[in-house]
Structure 1
Amino acid sequence: MAPSKDLVTLTANCLCKANTFTTQVPKSNLPLEGWACHCDSCRHATGAMYTQDSPWPEERANVDVSSLKAYNFSPKYDILFCPTCSTPLFFANTQDLNKKLGVFTGTLKNVSSDLVKTTEHIFVGDTGDGGASMWLRKPNADGTEAKRYKGRAEDENGQLAEAIPYDWPSHDKLTGYEAKTKDPVHIWCRCGGVNLLWEPPSYDGVKDEDLPWFVDPKTHKALAGFCACESCRLFGGVDVWNWAFAELKDIHFPNKVPGFPDSSDALRALVDAKDPSVGSLTYFASSSDAQRYFCSNCSACVFYAWDERNFMVDVALGVLEASDGARAEGTFSWAFGGAIGHLDENAGGWRFDQYQRVMKEGEEWRISRGYPKNWRRLAREKAEGKA
């Protein structure tokens, strides 16, 4: 056995801390190889814009996952998640029980050692617009690029597929910064237990000062941004989390059936009453005044509600289906290249530098597409004397 000074302790835990897994790995084995998937199923089963897992070093037979709930994600894999707080902890191969578990990298502690190296992005084609791969092309400490593939990286014969170039998709295939789509956005989880419709309003004729704080005064699109806090990371099991913002009055039941709660208080009461209208939606109170809503069947994160913002919710980007792609640029004003929320929580750990690279890539991509700076970023830079 390697001396203790040559070992790094890996810890993966869920948001509510009911489930914690630890093991040790030689420093020489780090960073772990990580694979990012952007397929429709992964996004709608977690609420994240992508999933990423690495092999958990310990033998599967030695890992007690009896307290986790299993969702049969595909014929070959289960997602093992905490039934209390939704955190997806492992992918488990159902056909080969000798295969090691794949740990969701967002659940790993933010230690100082560089833990994960992303080697590839698969099923990027499902996103239609590149999704989160646009700011995760070079996420690694050594500067290496994680190549992107429309489907699997290898075909059934083991032949390497052709990687997607940086400029995919072409500019004319994207909605762009200013253009706004009028199509409703479908909110659904992988198992279908959560099925809602969101109709972003036009805000035509509304004065700038009367717009909700998260609505771009020029494009009238809602804000979409990045969060690096531990709670969001553990909620969905990914390292980079993305939220959009919506007023509850604009969310409906399927087929535009009215009656969905127009306040977070009413939403919480409906879920507490186990009203069948909300399907499999449940929540975990991550603090005394905040609720994190998720699907109790498949673990998909759906909403974040805060009592001080009773009229609105944060919406997990991964559960949205928009006509123009996973980023839904026709609906959202993205803060590309801007500051990531709660970045300082990661100081001293490996993720802090990763987030710096994400911001750099987001800025490079914004400039390459000719997008202006997000209005909130401009306001922040002006307040800081940078503009």
Structure 2
Amino acid sequence: MAHVSCICGGVSQKVTPKNQNATDDTALSLCHCNTCRHTTGLLCTSYLPIQEPEISANLQIFRTSDKSARYFCRACGCHIFRNRENGRGEAEWGVATGVISKTDDGAIGEVKFTDHMHVSDTKDGGIAKWILLGDKERVSKEANRSGDESIQSSTLEATCACGTVTLHLTRPDANSLIPRRNYPDLTHAYCDTPTSILSNASDEKWWVRGSKYLAGTCACQSCRLTSGFEIQTWAFVPRANISIRIPDGETIGRNIPLDFDSLPSGILQSFKSSPGVTREFCGTCGATIFWHETEDADVIDVSAGLLRGNDGACADSWLEWWKDRVSFAEDVQSGRKGPLATAAKNLIDTLSVGMQS
């Protein structure tokens, strides 16, 4: 059996891997399709094939098509299961790899991330261009099918799969430089950086990179257990540069400045993942939307898989990706052990090397 749980514990159970031969390897894929990115808010997903699981009352279902569905925790938004019909009309089940804490001895053999799927959906290769797996030549060709980089738009839309949450980002301006925020682990590793440096005493506006915003990857346990997957991707954007669409009668809605205190109910679901930290997700499709400090929400982490850039999934005309470090890379195996933990560490190591090279 494999033991799975989300961060809040609302979903905590055992599942049976489909491949139960401990002498056989299990090959996993990273999926970069539009559905996975916009349903989760991440740039890629990964699922371990399992036998049909028990579906608890704490799971919310979102049907991505008439033959596919995703299941996520109602309380924290963590994606747990995927169910899809294969070409023979049979249901194929998978569990999000990030929620697996351990497997029983002998339940499964070695696990490896071996290839990428649907890279062409990203237009620019997405995060696959930094993770060298499988057919590197094919991935490279798909990564070069870029979108229209000539369109330097003044706003960038970010939308979850169901459309309940639609954001509009604007370019950095004078208001972008007003907030202050400590340095993130992305740029200064918390494990070996003095607090005096982390406090950003010089008040550097590190999130603004000319006409772009800083973006990066994260492998921390909290991100993994609130998303369900191995690699979270964040863009750091001042709240002053974010508007959100709210319902407006029979029309498509209207955009208002993002204000968590006055936002109408039913658009964002909140979860406090740690002291002083709040995360938001879509209660309809389960997409991760934001991470921010509860009391000082002036610079927001926006989940990059929501972005709809003309130039591709990485929105390079809007974001400058930090490539020197995967945030909390040291945390990738925290709270779990066994073949999945080893595979996850190898994946993050591959990502780290790929970004730096």
Q: TM-score range by the shorter chain?
A: 0.7 to 0.9
For the 8 Å contact 1:180–1:221, the answer to whether it is kept is no
Which residue in 2 is equivalent to 1:33? 27
Give unmatched runs, 5+ long, in structure 2: 179-201, 246-251
The answer to whether structure 1 residue 136 and structure 2 residue 123 are counterparts is no
Partner of 1:377: none
Deviation at 1:318, TM superposition (A): 0.6
Stretches of structure 1 lacking an aligned partner (at least 5 in a row): 1-8, 139-144, 149-162, 365-387
CA distance, structure 1, for counterparts of residue 94 and residue 310 of structure 2: 32
> What is the Cα deviation at residue 222 of structure 1?
1.1
Q: How far 1:78 moved relative to its partner?
A: 0.8
RMSD: 3.3
Partner deviation per Cα, 1:159-207 (whole Å, 9 max, x = no partner): xxxx7252544498785xxx99443111111111111211122569979
1:243 alignment partner, SS class: strand
- Structure 2 Cα separation of the partners of residues 168 and 93 of structure 1: 25
Match of 2:244 in 1: 253
Q: CA deviation at 1:240?
A: 1.2
CA change 1:165–1:78 in 2 (3 A) is closer
Matched to 2:140, the amino acid is Y
How far apart in 2 are the matches of 1:11 and 1:51? 19
- Over 3 Å counting, the alpha-carbon distance change for 1:201 and 1:256 in structure 2 is farther
Letter of the 2:300 partner, please give it: V
More strand by proportion, 1 or 2? Answer: 2
Contact 2:33 2:119 (8 Å CA) reproduced: yes
Is residue 102 of structure 1 aligned with residue 88 of structure 2?
no
Give the match for residue 243 of structure 1: 234
Instruction: Report SS of the residue matched to 1:28.
Output: coil
Match of 2:2 among 5, 10, 14: 10
Q: Give the drift of 1:210.
A: 7.2
Q: In the aligned structure 1, how far is the partner of 2:25 from the partner of 2:205?
A: 43
- The reply on whether 1:184 has 2:155 as its aligned counterpart is yes
- 1:352-387, CA deviations, whole angstroms, 9 ceiling, x for partnerless residues? 2321111111222xxxxxxxxxxxxxxxxxxxxxxx
Is the partner of 2:355 in helix, strand or coil? helix
Aligned residues: 315
> Once the 2 structures are TM-superposed, how far is the Cα of residue 328 of structure 1 from its aligned partner?
0.6
Whole-angstrom CA distance in 2 between matches of 1:182 and 1:48: 23
TM-score, normalised by the number of residues in structure 2: 0.77
Q: 2:69 aligns with which of 57, 75, 78?
A: 78
Listed as ranges, the matches of 1:1-387 within 5 Å are 9-23=1-15, 26=20, 28=22, 31-56=25-50, 59-60=51-52, 63-93=54-84, 99-109=91-101, 116-138=111-133, 145=134, 147=135, 164-166=138-140, 168-170=142-144, 181-202=152-173, 212-216=205-209, 219-254=210-245, 257=254, 259-261=256-258, 266-267=259-260, 269-271=261-263, 275=264, 279-307=266-294, 309-336=296-323, 338-347=324-333, 349-350=341-342, 351-364=344-357
The structure having more radius of gyration, on CA atoms, is 1
Higher relative contact order (CA 8 A, sep 6+): 2
Query: Residue deviations 1:242-290, cap 9 Å, x none?
Result: 11111111111349955323xxxx40x335xxx15xx531111112311
Higher helix share: 1
Q: Normalized against structure 1, the TM-score is what? A: 0.72
For residues 116-163 of structure 1, what are the alpha-carbon distances to aligned partners after superposition, in whole Å with 9 as ceiling and x for unaligned? Answer: 32343222111110001112232xxxxxx2x37xxxxxxxxxxxxxx7
